[in-house]
Amino acid sequence: MPERRIMDAQEIQRSLSRIAHEILERNRGVEDLVLVGIHTRGVILSQLLEQNILRFEGNCAPLAELDINLYRDDLQARESPRVRPTKFPVDIRGKNVVLVDDVLFTGRTIRAALDALSDLGRPRQVQLAILVDRGHRELPIRADYVGKNVPTSLDEEVKVRLTETDQTEDVIIVKL
């Protein structure tokens, strides 16, 4: 199975540091900011962004988690649905919400995440932070903060490996 590495640990760390700065700049600090990680690696990335924000600002934004498998409209097309607890200890009404995920592909997960958010209240604004944008959008969705744009073909998969889940940290592209 041929694979190529597109980000190493240092590049991931630099991207997260840059995105944390961009989030702080665009939102003028952490006041009214909420970070919402999307299941598994989006949650971990939101925690890593949070650590950077705390380091730069001395203050951090509340974190929340969404389990999107419950809301996907094409569950049959991919992995079987799994229900995980959604941690949402924050009120998003009037807040600037930054959704965080590892890979942006068709855009369907983010569309589902927007649905899930709208059940929880009306944020002031919703922004999107993504580590890898692999293209192939099927909906009019784009990210506000991107670690790396990586053109891919449909027979490839992006593997995002993070220390917390994979005991290593890099991004590789695997030909299926």
Binding site for ligand 5GP (CB under 6 A): 38, 101-109, 134, 157-160
Please identify, using beta-carbon distances, which residue of 24 and 69 lies nearer to ligand 5GP: 69
Q: Hunting for tokens 């965080």 — which residue is that? A: 100
| Least separation in angstroms between CB 122 and ligand 5GP | 23
Give CA–CA dist 83/71, Å, rounded. Answer: 10
Other Cβ atoms closer than 10 A to 22: 15
Please identify, using beta-carbon distances, which residue of 105 and 145 lies nearer to ligand 5GP: 105
| Least separation in angstroms between CB 60 and ligand 5GP | 23
Closest of 155, 85, 92 to residue 119, by C-alpha: 92
Give CA–CA dist 30/32, Å, rounded. Answer: 6
Please identify, using beta-carbon distances, which residue of 157 and 170 lies nearer to ligand 5GP: 157
| Least separation in angstroms between CB 96 and ligand 5GP | 21
